[in-house]
A = this chain, B = another copy of it.
């Protein structure tokens, strides 16, 4: 292969109808015209996946996961063939492949399969033939399920799986870049719909991006970022509608020395649960969290205050939609352990500052708490990681908190790193 190899991924909203598909094909054609070799991963058109789920729901309450995967995978087959046809119409050689044809094998967890291996020999052969290779995202073939030339079982990777397909293919092919085209222009210092001064970053480290994604920034799947990090794949997030530079996610050698807050994340989908005056003895945590785990309720931040008089308050957060179920699961637990009661608050939100090295610079935590206090925002819970400090606050204070923190950490000021890191783009 001569020339750069770039993997591009287009999401469903970029492919929602024929006109958008032709527009996407135009972008691909322009990238191809620069001499780049291209592998393009596509999601299903618009709401296709939801429509197929509704169709299955009209048939049965409990669709078989193997059949559901075969059904859902058709959405990406369709969009892949249509993008290929649109490229042909623009005079670009192209071929569409299913996930299985592209050599993506997975474990047997239908509906949320993990990629086990990528053997992209067909992809390479098609690139050698001069084709832009369009790969149906979100899917693979169950490892070892092929039967002597007869195709095996189709699996799907779960919501947002096309990001993962793109990064996995980029890793397996040793691509120069993985471009994720989306409906935003890139990664911002804060949500631009809430914070007026929010500024697009031109570069961000994997770990920072991971925290942003986990803290509610919906731009990219956590899993795809992790996969990129592990495999050192440079990921660029950019707009499929505008022809503007995006944000590059990569290992940043300057990060360690920088010790700077890079962005704010927030999440409104939070409820707080507090068990009051829980007896302070071994095994209590298990007796609370084991039943929640059994019920499939995802517990996030957990804070246990220092006990006094042999009892302690235990607080944690759950996704807001899970609160009624959590209350139901916990009622008998509270009674059994002899706690004083259960208090819940569905109107909280999380706000986080994110930046590599925050952990080793205690000054940032102090500045965050001080800024929130000055803005009159009460902190209800705190948790930290290597690259993040998160506070739970009243949801009503969220905008005030974000504005205050954005100003306090001077996020509106361009970072010198941002300009230095603006690499040539293949789009």
Contacts and interface: CB of A to CB of B under 8 A. Distances in A.
A81 B85 contact: no
A146 B147 contact: no
Contact of A64 (B88, B101, B103): B88
A89 interface: yes
A333 interface: no
A73 B141 CA distance: 18
A305 to B, nearest CB: 50
Contacts of A22: 59
B150 A100 contact: yes
Interface stretch (A50-58, A315-323, A324-332): A50-58
B98 A151 contact: yes
A67 interface: yes
B98 A85 contact: no
A11 to B, nearest CB: 18
Contacts of A56: 81-82, 85
Contacts of A86: 59-60
B70 A77 contact: yes
Contacts of A74: 74, 77-78
A101 B60 contact: no
A74 to B, nearest CB: 4
A255 to B, nearest CB: 40
B84 A18 contact: no
A84 to B, nearest CB: 5
A100 B59 contact: no
A60 B88 contact: yes
Interface residues of A, number: 46
A66 B126 CA distance: 14
Nearest to A57: B18
A389 to B, nearest CB: 47
Interface in A15-52: 18, 21-22, 52
A141 B151 CA distance: 9
A311 interface: no
A122 interface: yes
B84 A67 contact: yes
A70 B81 contact: yes
Contacts of A141: 150-151
A68 interface: yes
A417 to B, nearest CB: 42
B147 A121 contact: yes
A341 interface: no
A22 B59 CA distance: 7
Contacts of A81: 56, 67-68, 70-71
A179 interface: no
Contacts of A64: 84-85, 88
Contacts of A96: 67, 70
A396 to B, nearest CB: 44
Contacts of A21: 59
Nearest to A83: B59
Contacts of A73: 77
Contacts of A146: 149-151
14 contacts: A21-B59, A59-B86, A62-B88, A63-B85, A63-B88, A64-B88, A71-B77, A71-B78, A77-B77, A98-B151, A103-B150, A119-B150, A122-B147, A141-B151
Given A59-B82, A141-B150, 8 more contacts: A56-B85, A59-B89, A60-B86, A64-B84, A67-B96, A68-B85, A101-B151, A146-B149
Q: Which 7 A-B pairs have the closest CB atoms?
A: A18-B58, A151-B151, A74-B74, A60-B89, A71-B81, A146-B149, A67-B81
Interface of A: 18, 21-22, 52, 55-56, 58-64, 66-68, 70-71, 73-74, 77-78, 80-82, 84-86, 88-89, 95-96, 98, 100-101, 103, 119, 121-122, 141, 146-147, 149-152
